[in-house]
Amino acid sequence: MEKLLYLQEIAYHIRRDIIEMLAEAGSGHLGGSLGLVDVFTSLYFSEMKHDAQNPMWEERDRLILSIGHVAPVLYATLARAGYFDVNELKTLRKLNSRLQGHPGKDKGLPGIEISSGSLGQGLSISAGIAMGLKINKSSSRVFCICGDGELQEGSIWEAAMAAGHYHLDNLICIVDRNGLQIDGKTSDVMEIEPLSLKWDSFGWHVTVINGNDINQILHTFTKINSVLLKPKVIIAQTSMGKGVPSIENDYRWHGKAPSKTEAEQFLKELEHGYFHY
Ligand SMILES: [Mg+2]
């Protein structure tokens, strides 16, 4: 219980950071970033083996952000986990900042494993890293974060096929299943269901969870660790814009930043939700 309260407090601060940094930048992807906060908090503050003081530690678990456009949740989480000063978040999308709109490995920000933004590539990269780790007899794992709209990319399924074929049980793909993408509902743009059956048929172990429930997320991580010889996918059902009720599940907030006035309003909504848990 104490641990849950601690993680919820961190998630609250990360959501604040995201709203504030986007308002400061005047552009960026708010909805998906907010929706993934509980997943990122659970990963960096509980599940993942990593060291902010030694970001390239050989034994670390790797986080591959395939949906590069939700960079704000990665940046805010890394800052809160001690990878760099929280004040640097204010430089998001500014000229010469290490925090660009999509993560760039060449920018030198600690904790960034790959450059991303072009959709559909992260799972192939993750499968390659997972295979390399196995060859090196490493116990490290690879967590790949994909969007649900991103699953419409054909390259995702090539990677899924290879990961199943090579029994990459050190690979965990987390699908941000918010049902929305830039132009509307995934079911309207390009249906991806039946999603569990698709992954299963590619040889993956599938779990469907509420991706905004930290308890459920942590429990799932523990449970799937004992699954051998299969890559694992967690279909995390999230709400785009989670924490700010007035924008939740509204796809128009996929790629939009709040104005300063809107940000104030959103922070109030966030506070209200948090302090009335
Ligand atoms: Mg989506």
What's the 125 CA to ligand 1 centre distance in angstroms? Answer: 20
Residue 254 CA to ligand 1 centre (angstroms): 8
What CATH number is associated with residue 215? 3.40.50.970
State the total domains in the chain.
1
d(CA 30, CA 253): 6
| 31 CB-near residues (< 8 Å, 6+ apart) | 178, 180, 240, 241, 247, 250, 251, 253, 254, 255, 256
Strands (E), the chain: 62-65, 142-147, 171-177, 180-181, 184-185, 205-210, 232-237
From the list 130, 116, 201, the residue with the least C-alpha distance to 163 is 130
- Containing structural domain, residue 144: 2-274
Q: What's the pLDDT score for residue 69? A: 97
Q: Are 174 and 145 in contact (CB under 8 A)?
A: yes
Cα–ligand 1 centroid distance for 53 (angstroms):
32
- Ligand 1 centre distance from Cα of residue 69 (Å): 11
251 CA → ligand 1 middle, Å: 9
- For residue 13, the tally of other CB atoms under 10 A from its CB is 16
pLDDT at 277: 55
Centre of ligand 1 from the C-alpha of residue 57, in Å: 32
Structure tokens at 78: 């890394």
* Buried b or exposed e, range 208-228, using 16+ CB within 10 angstroms: ebebbbbebbbebbeebeeee
Ligand 1 centroid to Cα of residue 240, in Å, is: 8
b (16+ CB within 10 A) / e for 17-42:
bbbbbbbbbeebbbbbbbbbbbbbbb
Question: Per residue of the chain (277 residues), what is the pLDDT tens digit?
Answer: 799 999 999 999 999 999 999 999 999 999 999 999 999 999 999 999 999 999 999 999 999 999 999 999 999 999 999 999 999 999 999 999 999 999 999 999 999 999 999 999 999 999 999 999 999 999 999 999 999 999 999 999 999 999 999 999 999 999 999 999 999 999 999 999 999 999 999 999 999 999 999 999 999 999 999 999 999 999 999 999 999 999 999 999 999 999 999 999 999 999 999 987 5
Structure pTM? 0.98
**CA 212–ligand 1 middle distance (angstroms):** 14
